[in-house]
Structure 1
């Protein structure tokens, strides 16, 4: 029985796909092991959102070669679609598979026989044009962690100036509601309590063969009826696709939690235009206000990019002040990095690297302040926490419905269980300490 190990770089979507490909291997008789357990085959699922993701791929390949010099190394994912020839030249790589091939890698690569070094020139490349990536593959993570990432949509039709995802994943396409609901029931049977819905542009759910057959709103209504899952969480949704009806539904639903992650990217309308985003900051302000009106304790996360070409000091400060005044909970800060074949490369002036880094630091500090303030607002209230399996120094962690990370004394009975708690204080590690909840009203009276 050959042993196979996986390493995933990048987003939740990649994790869902890696887990699904892993189950395909197990169904064929392979044994799934940890990366450091002398596997015969290494599968590395890559990301290419930033330059660092590319560097990480090379580092993981080097480590795989060190663990087992005779191991077969195959690279899949976004980096593999965008730069297959570059990866093929990395020492120790045996195969590179693009977006249209990655779910067929067991069939394509056969017995995973490594070519002798003396005759091998470079890795085998199986990489169709991105227009060939039209099939949809149902994917979800399982047995990897307390929460499961369930892919509902893939690809993107938005030509944002800085982004390579349409080039790496192809057109927007979706699963069917029926398939997603069936997958959710399978996940529930495994004992998982929380599902995170993921995709490239999940608000665009419903496109099948370039026709809109269903909608994201119809999907979440169907999932809200799935017995056995206690929580559904929406991973990320574009502000122009986050409608009033979606917000109102989450506020009154049985299983969808009050937590939204909404990409902003810039608080300057001029920079949003340069980025080719499909909204202005006024819409974003309106979305946040609507959420907080219906769900005052809702957690709102924000993606923001600093240093995009053309972003002046004044426009960055416009973004900083906009975020500072907005009722949000945390930021995911991305420093712009040049990506081949993107429109942003033609925009001038280019922001120097030292300025990009300065702006990133400022927003990371702001994010810490926002998170602390959000946590402080929740103290003294009761929530339910889903506790996770990771235990360190006799302590275990978990998340409330509204994404507050809490810490409690380890109790094996609490792993993968939800428990009503009262939030007491914030410790030095920015974790919230808890006590058993008394019979007071829960924080989410609107649920």
Structure 2
């Protein structure tokens, strides 16, 4: 009988794309892929180490695997596995730990799936993580995450990603276009571009530091690929989001009006301590340029609270800055200390109780911002791509500018695009819709 393998992914869209690539290598070796909740012969956990919570959750996931099959072989791969391999190997039940370069060769490291007395570690020096492995993930029938870039050359003082993923490097343009075509051929309607620092695309494309292509070159080339209905940019640094890219997205065939732009702090003092490559003045310029060029554009923002040295005045500076900014929602991260970063040695540690309070305040602001954005769009006729889950009798979908809508469950709507009118905001915060008269009944 075929051996069964299951996967669990912690962290970002990039991790999801890489898990899918690793999973396909198992299928090529004759394994059957099953859901993580099912009994399997092997469980692979793709780890994250951006926050403390991701570290803690790993042990919980290992226990879930052991509950499903106490004799199963358990492997840990990914960022946490690169940063702290011995720590993961010491977790009860873990048999194999693979670092940044080894994870893509996982099938070479497994023999008979016999349990090990101690976790076996194969982890390179991060300087050796200098080659590129292309990946894409098809999470459901409507969208795919396409990896275009990996690693980062930035030195942000709070971040472990360069230590976990290595230098900035890019997929070859032709390979990105081939992967995009392959995804489109499977009937996927939307592709989300992902990477660690995708605005740096082109660096390391041919094994050197030169930019053979730019991010704008990538965007223009992808816009010409047949069969892609929507292209979405996942997250891009404000200093790398150029006006030319904004102008192109405004008139492109496939790119949707949605940008996610990390800010991290609204205080220039803290941005300097974080070693970010911009100040709030440049960030404001980017937001104003987008809103002037694409008025209905959705703009998401990453922000960190509780960074060392963040006084009440610094936090209120961030809160007030975001409050007046024309943005659509926030992703709020509570600062957590990470080993081998500059920030962990900084003075001015913010008590966790205060970090949590500030986080709640910004999450509340995010709810307010999202509702205001949704309300500004009511009455508009837009296109919605419907997803595949039945959620309490409703089917959900997203507009091009990332408004989440719902309508009574209809399985025939799955993975289809329909023109609708945004009517009202429901109790759960989603937008109720009405199908346009020109739509064919399904």
| TM-score where L is the length of structure 2 | 0.97
In the alignment, the residues of structure 1 paired with residue 263 and residue 239 of structure 2 have an alpha-carbon distance, to the nearest angstrom, of: 10
In the alignment, the residues of structure 1 paired with residue 144 and residue 55 of structure 2 have an alpha-carbon distance, to the nearest angstrom, of: 26
CA deviation string 1:6-48 (max 9, x = no partner): 0000000000000111111101100000112210000000000
Q: Unpaired segments of 5 or more residues in structure 2?
A: none
Which residue of 141, 151, 164 corresponds with 2:160?
164
Q: Which residue of 1 aligns with 2:130?
A: 134
Matched position secondary structure for 2:137: coil
RMSD after superposition: 1.1
Kindly tell me the number of residue pairs found equivalent between the two proteins.
435
Segment drifting more, 429-438 vs 362-371: 429-438
Describe how 1:340-351 pairs up with structure 2 within 5 A: 340-351=339-350
In the alignment, the residues of structure 1 paired with residue 171 and residue 49 of structure 2 have an alpha-carbon distance, to the nearest angstrom, of: 24
Q: Which residue of 2 aligns with 1:279?
A: 278
- 1:56, distance to aligned residue in structure 2 (A): 0.4
- 1:109, distance to aligned residue in structure 2 (A): 2.1
Q: Which residue of 2 aligns with 1:238?
A: 237
Matched position secondary structure for 1:304: strand
Closer/same/farther in 2, CA of residues 211 and 227 from structure 1, 3 Å limit: same
- Mapped contact 2:148–2:171 kept (Cα < 8 A): yes
Confirm or deny that 1:202 pairs with 2:201. no
In the alignment, the residues of structure 2 paired with residue 379 and residue 313 of structure 1 have an alpha-carbon distance, to the nearest angstrom, of: 36
Matched position secondary structure for 1:211: coil
In the alignment, the residues of structure 1 paired with residue 63 and residue 438 of structure 2 have an alpha-carbon distance, to the nearest angstrom, of: 55
Matched position secondary structure for 1:213: coil
Confirm or deny that 1:176 pairs with 2:172. yes
- 1:5, distance to aligned residue in structure 2 (A): 0.1
In the alignment, the residues of structure 1 paired with residue 245 and residue 93 of structure 2 have an alpha-carbon distance, to the nearest angstrom, of: 48
Q: Which residue of 2 aligns with 1:31?
A: 32
Q: Which residue of 2 aligns with 1:337?
A: 336
- Mapped contact 2:15–2:46 kept (Cα < 8 A): yes
Q: Which residue of 2 aligns with 1:300?
A: 299
- 1:378, distance to aligned residue in structure 2 (A): 0.3
Describe how 1:401-412 pairs up with structure 2 within 5 A: 401-412=400-411
In the alignment, the residues of structure 2 paired with residue 6 and residue 250 of structure 1 have an alpha-carbon distance, to the nearest angstrom, of: 35
Q: Which residue of 2 aligns with 1:426?
A: 425
Closer/same/farther in 2, CA of residues 162 and 38 from structure 1, 3 Å limit: same
Moved over 4 A (4+): none
- 1:414, distance to aligned residue in structure 2 (A): 1.1
Q: Which residue of 1 aligns with 2:85?
A: 84
Q: Which residue of 2 aligns with 1:253?
A: 252
- 1:394, distance to aligned residue in structure 2 (A): 2.1
- Mapped contact 2:141–2:415 kept (Cα < 8 A): no
In the alignment, the residues of structure 2 paired with residue 4 and residue 439 of structure 1 have an alpha-carbon distance, to the nearest angstrom, of: 46
Matched position secondary structure for 1:212: coil
- 1:437, distance to aligned residue in structure 2 (A): 2.1
Q: Unpaired segments of 5 or more residues in structure 1?
A: 441-447
In the alignment, the residues of structure 1 paired with residue 366 and residue 128 of structure 2 have an alpha-carbon distance, to the nearest angstrom, of: 40
Matched position secondary structure for 1:92: coil
| TM-score where L is the length of structure 1 | 0.96
In the alignment, the residues of structure 1 paired with residue 380 and residue 437 of structure 2 have an alpha-carbon distance, to the nearest angstrom, of: 10
